């Protein structure tokens, strides 16, 4: 009998409060290798805080986050950096460097991590831009391109390091519905091509049901429900139904 692969990401008993305000109240979640997990929930409900824990940017008050068996909540310095080298991150808003060209933005993470000469790294950056349909935009600056293009540059920058795990924090915030679907389609195509494990935080209902392998509903600081898009859409749970009927606040956490 074949043994199931261990989870790529294992979150157990994660608690976090800021001052007197509890945000995470015991989050438990598993993400399988090669899975696209989308976390939904009310604005201000802790989705982005949870993502920052996965990145090792925030330390929990209790609990653990194991990524490929390593607890990022217990790592510091170089040991944490080594784990992060396997990550690609698409930040909310893109977080591009305004003073760098599109090409230099994409080059930045591999130049930082590698001692290889530029002529070796350049083809990788150009290929990453080609994968997001921006082959002819490398010379432009972020202020010179559209919001949708900036999102695609951010995705190219995340993908250029050939990550094993990709984190996406509200990657379609501020885009119109057509661009939301364009970005989602791009993420799906890249995930199919490279089979990375992904966690996306989003409030885009119902669009995320076309992206996710599974959906986790974060409510009251805990994972209230988790299942396939069909499971979540067909749920009789009143809290889940409240989310999927469009009553999630529309601005990002």
| CA 253/CA 250 separation, integer angstroms | 10
Give the helix/strand (H/E) hosting 130.
helix 118-131
Q: What predicted TM-score, i.e. pTM, was given to this entire model? A: 0.89
DSSP string, 213-233: SEEEEEETTEEEEEE-HHHHH
Boundaries of domain holding 220 = 35-43+85-247
Q: How many helices (H) and strands (E) does the chain have?
A: 8, 10
DSSP code, position 112: H
Domain annotation covers residue 229: yes
Residue 124 lies in a domain: yes
| Tally of domains in the chain | 1
Whether 221 maps to a domain, the answer reads yes
Is residue 50 in a domain? no
16 located within any domain: no
- Tens of pLDDT, residue by residue, the chain (253 residues): 444 678 999 999 999 999 999 999 999 999 999 999 999 988 888 999 999 999 999 999 999 999 988 999 988 888 988 888 889 999 876 688 899 999 999 999 888 777 777 778 888 899 999 989 898 889 999 999 988 899 999 999 999 988 999 999 988 888 888 888 889 999 999 999 999 999 999 988 888 999 999 999 999 999 999 999 999 999 999 989 887 875 544 444 4
Which domain CATH number covers 108? 3.40.50.300
Residue 177 lies in a domain: yes
**Within a domain: residue 166?**
yes
Residue 234 lies in a domain: yes
């Amino acid at each position: 009998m074949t043994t199931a692969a261990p989870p790529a990401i294992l979150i157990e008993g994660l608690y976090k409060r800021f001052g007197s305000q509890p945000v995470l109240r015991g989050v438990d979640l598993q993400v399988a290798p090669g899975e696209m997990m989308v976390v939904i929930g009310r604005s201000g409900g802790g989705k982005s805080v949870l993502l920052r824990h996965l990145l090792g940017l925030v330390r929990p008050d209790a609990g653990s986050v194991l990524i490929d068996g390593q607890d990022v909540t217990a790592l510091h310095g170089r040991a944490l950096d080594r784990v992060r080298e396997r990550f690609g991150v698409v930040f909310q808003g893109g977080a591009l460097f305004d003073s760098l060209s599109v090409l230099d933005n994409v080059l930045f993470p591999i130049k930082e991590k590698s001692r290889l000469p530029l002529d070796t790294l350049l083809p990788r950056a150009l290929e990453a831009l080609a994968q997001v349909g921006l082959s002819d935009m490398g010379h432009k600056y972020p202020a010179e391109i559209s919001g949708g293009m900036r999102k695609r540059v951010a995705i190219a920058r995340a993908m250029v390091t050939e990550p094993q795990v990709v984190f996406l924090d509200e990657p379609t915030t501020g885009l119109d519905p057509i661009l939301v679907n364009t970005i989602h389609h791009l993420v799906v195509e890249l995930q199919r091509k490279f089979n990375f494990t992904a966690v996306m935080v989003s409030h885009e209902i119902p669009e995320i049901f076309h992206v996710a392998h599974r959906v986790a509903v974060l409510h009251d600081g805990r994972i209230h429900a988790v299942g396939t898009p069909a499971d979540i859409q067909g749920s009789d749970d009143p809290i889940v139904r409240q989310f999927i009927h469009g009553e999630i606040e529309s601005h990002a956490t």
